[in-house]
Chains A and B, each alone.
Chain A
């Protein structure tokens, strides 16, 4: 039993890192623009489909590099054309808009690539387990964790050391003051949305390599991202990181003892956190109170 628990603990951390990647993009957009992007899962799916199209021409590695950038460009354009019109309005407008946008993107995928699942071929050497004893850790999963680690480190470095990153961080704390200091807030929001979409696209390619593609794949993967943000705390990227890992581990450990509740347990954690500490584990006061 101990071995089973330890195996699932490790497995939960691996799954959790993937939730982190999805949730970080979503969290960035919420923090700066106050838009809860319900279409984030569909950006993820689009990223996966871009990789599916590109792989025959530039291979998996090429697609892994290019697809997130294409998703970011798409996100940038959509933000310019659609999303920015609801910033000044009540939250309900952005919720409804992104909810509808999600359906449109899903139907676009269904129309272009069909409703059937499609495989994204990954290099054969990544499919094997690292050792016979640790049979559930394939090289692909190790690779996924490594990519997520690099992406998270890169994101934190971007936010800390680049001019745009610093402005995004400042804007997250007080957008009005940042604007008053002469920063072009409109452009800042567009860049930020593009970075969030980039992370969705990257998560999409990684998910497609593991799970294959279908137009609904974003729907299945998006809820844990929202929960990671709420548990970790709205406004805190470190909190999102912690929230993602926590729900990944909780879900995996629940599977050992009561598998039917593997999905429900993450909602229970969310409810408990909201009851005991409404701002989330590392969230800022006032963001969700």
Chain B
């Protein structure tokens, strides 16, 4: 310790600081105790905010933030404020798993949500099941998540690839014919999607050819040359994101839209906004659509969220995040607990109220596989309609989730609850 004058001044100042701190604590103590009683409910949200799926992930996170804000204005969950902890999986499975461990072990989250990337969502399931944490997958589509590898603690909001394929196959066969050509991304999502399409097409007596291409394929001319030579009734573009868009653009540039129909399973409004007007064509599936004139709750949802997202219309990704978080709230409040087993039991087969489901038919996470039985919107992509720049899709038919999904037993899911 310094013996000079400066040292003494420093020591005296330190004593005064400590004294003032101790004094302040006397006033602060009651507030600290109060805050401990209102510890937030923590939701860990893992999504690929960077990487090739970032456009979808950013929208999902946007929807989650808005929902949490709304929840906190209305008393949170179980009377406690809700805290959203967002982590970037960077579209990498290892990173996603690491973030799940971090959220559970260091941040002590009560609930996990994620990931847009099916492979990462699937990997995170392993972590949440082991740690017994309640987990909702808002937007990862590969079938085993609520199929053969389903878990008691995992629920899924978006559709399975089997549901999307089943919803649109009938329309395409009926309207255009049974000879199809597939352009499909060569990974888990694409493979299961094409298998499901082929199964349905063959049931209808159809024939097909197709190419599996790298997920980030940029040039489709070689495959389109093959497709044109095959002379199909329908070209199924199963690619995603920018690849889906480029395939569609080249299809129209090559004049193939005059010779065959274009269709596919999932289309996202985020991607659709970037398609040039002349290429806005084809039959697709939307997992949720903002324009449902017969469902009043949808209009009020759209009116509420739009100002918070740049006055755009909400996309299916906003809806997925909203439904997932609101479902978690319902589960916790029905179970009167944040314990994962109790929440999972509470949410199984619970019918979501219309202001949460935002859909024309009854919607629930069914008990047999924890898959949300949401409505599927089948229709045509169109140039901007009277509803504004986001009026890019005309719903032709709404297929109820249960009808598209088939029985839960057929998915191969067998839920084993912990003892």
Contact = CB atoms under 8 A, between A and B. Distances in A.
Interface stretch (B240-248, B353-361, B374-382): B240-248
Interface of B: 49-52, 54-55, 57-58, 186, 211-214, 216-219, 221-226, 228-229, 241-242, 245-246, 249, 253-256, 270-271, 273-276, 278
User: Majority SS of interface residues in chain A?
Assistant: helix
Contacts of B253: 127-129, 138, 140
Which residue, of A106, A116, A260, A263, has the highest number of chain B Cβ atoms within 10 A?
Answer: A116
A252 B218 CA distance: 12
A182 B255 CA distance: 59
B54 A15 contact: no
Given A129-B253, A135-B255, A255-B211, A212 B223 contact: no
Given A107-B50, A115-B58, A259-B213, A8 B254 contact: no
12 contacts: A8-B222, A116-B55, A117-B245, A132-B255, A135-B255, A140-B253, A211-B242, A212-B246, A212-B249, A255-B222, A255-B226, A260-B212
A22 to B, nearest CB: 12
Contacts of A263: 214, 217
A135 B226 contact: no
A115 to B, nearest CB: 4
A205 to B, nearest CB: 15
B231 to A, nearest CB: 13
Contacts of B228: 135
A255 B212 CA distance: 10
A259 B245 contact: no
Given A140-B253, A262-B217, 18 more contacts: A11-B221, A11-B225, A115-B54, A116-B55, A118-B274, A129-B254, A132-B255, A211-B242, A212-B274, A214-B241, A216-B54, A220-B218, A255-B211, A256-B222, A259-B213, A260-B186, A260-B212, A263-B217
A129 B55 CA distance: 31
A20 to B, nearest CB: 15
A3 B246 CA distance: 24
A195 to B, nearest CB: 25
A119 interface: yes
A4 B52 CA distance: 32
A262 B249 CA distance: 20
A52 to B, nearest CB: 11
B225 A119 contact: no
A191 B54 CA distance: 35
